[in-house]
Structure 1
Amino acid sequence: MNAFDWSAFTLGLPAAAGAALAVLLATFVVSLRKGMHRIVDVAWGLAFTAVAVVAFSMSRGHGDAGRQLLVLALTSLWGLRLAGHILRRSWGHGEDPRYERMLGKAPGSRSVYALRKVYLLQAALVWLVSLPVQAGMYVAGSPGVLTWVGCALWTLGFAFETIGDHQLHRFKADPANRGRIMDRGLWSWTRHPNYFGDFCVWWGLFLIVCEAPTAAAATIVSPVVMTLLLTQGSGKRLLEAHMADRPGFAEYRSRTSGFFPLPPKRRSATGQ
């Protein structure tokens, strides 16, 4: 069991919250100037990176230096890759239909409603989900087995996200695939390799904290919340509702795992 500096960790919580809030508020200002709120999706990964940097700075001298650098590197690599991917994917496009629908129901000022329902909410979620990142900075003692198992799980998740996003990008870039459902590569094993990847990344980061069991007990809410967001919140559930009427999606759904990767089922005779 590794020691954990609760006093220093508690003092760092407001600073981490401030980092997340600063990124989202800055993004809100940019979004108002651009007249488009889909930019907030880029800020999601950037906010986690900002929290990791601040937590790393605040924790110097309180935890294991090697683990601190590891947690900083893993979180920043994940956050910056995600932000870059979403920026490239959304470049040159208009407003996201999700935000159009949401803000179309705003009871008053769309900007105030967006600030409250999108930006401030995301800042709070970043702070909550990043608790294992913050706590990992304050775990004393050299990294042990759980840290390396967590790194392996993180690596699996990062690979699924990166490869899955690359495969989807190449698929969409081919005009011959316009209107078709992506069902190749990792997308033939799970309908959501990117969301499954996120799941692995955040449970992997949580495992690093598990070397200090009391800290793990206090932060387990974070990967649980991320899992719910991915499967029941703004991830899988909303995306599949949006795609439900797409030609070929029902057949794809019937033969492809909804989340955890599994060998694809054989196509039905009518789907061949």
Structure 2
Amino acid sequence: PLANVIVDPSSRASGLIEMYGYGFGYNLGYMYGLSDRSRIGLSFRSSSKINFRGRSEWYLDDLKARPVVGTSIVSLLNNDGNQDLGDFLGDYLLPETTTKAVFNVPARLSISYFSALNDKTDLMLDYTFIKSSILDELAVGFGIEEDSNGKRVILADAKIPLKWRDSYKASLGINHHINDATTLKAGFQYDKTPIPSKEFRHPALPESDRYMTSLGFNHRINKNLSIDGAYSLLVFEDSKSEYRNKCRFNNPEDSSGSCTGIGGTFRGEFSDTYANIISLQINSRY
């Protein structure tokens, strides 16, 4: 409530959290030849825990207090009588500090099939199960800093609840060998979104079911050199968001503990979303 009195609603502020991390995992695979023309493959990619470290930056220069009332309150809260709201927040509430986070990359299990239908055409199928329910939330922890009075400024974690469910992708591919040097390729892929409902579709990550169609080619220049080219159209299914940030003034609505957030509900619709992808690759064998 005090913020509504102090902050000029026409002003703005933003923040940036930049982090780098590392993790370890492993891949296992097995392929079995059913015949001279067909084979089946099974592969597993383990989950991996990525440990991130970084730093937060807050851009508060354009955050202004309301004339008279807001600036007067800010000057009273500041030791030196400074009326700048950005300076006050940067010193007492939002200091730039170290950050840390842990991100879990889901495990994947794939089964694939290849068959040479004839001397010219190959058929490929793939189904991949993704253990995306491991992603329950995204949380960034902040380090402890001191304000100008020497008091510790403690920011609780910034959290985005995900509550993702397990997902999968299925794909179909065809190769057509024009001759020994040139192969045309086509494929289709469907990705099931892990987001369970519009209540968990965060505006920064408006994930939805995806469909991708691809056309490409491989051309062998000589025994050791070849080139690949492809065009893909990626289409996102229309979706809605009604995401609510339950954290407000470090006081969450549920029993999840303290948090850093400003509360509020985002309602929106995402439609006609697509991407055109063009790729070119040169392969060299030594």
TM range (shorter): under 0.3
Whose helix fraction is larger, Structure 1's or Structure 2's? 1
TM-score by length of 1: 0.24
- Taking structure 2 as the reference length, the TM-score comes to 0.23
Point out which structure has higher relative CO (alpha carbons under 8 A, 6+ apart): 1
Bigger-Rg structure (1/2): 2
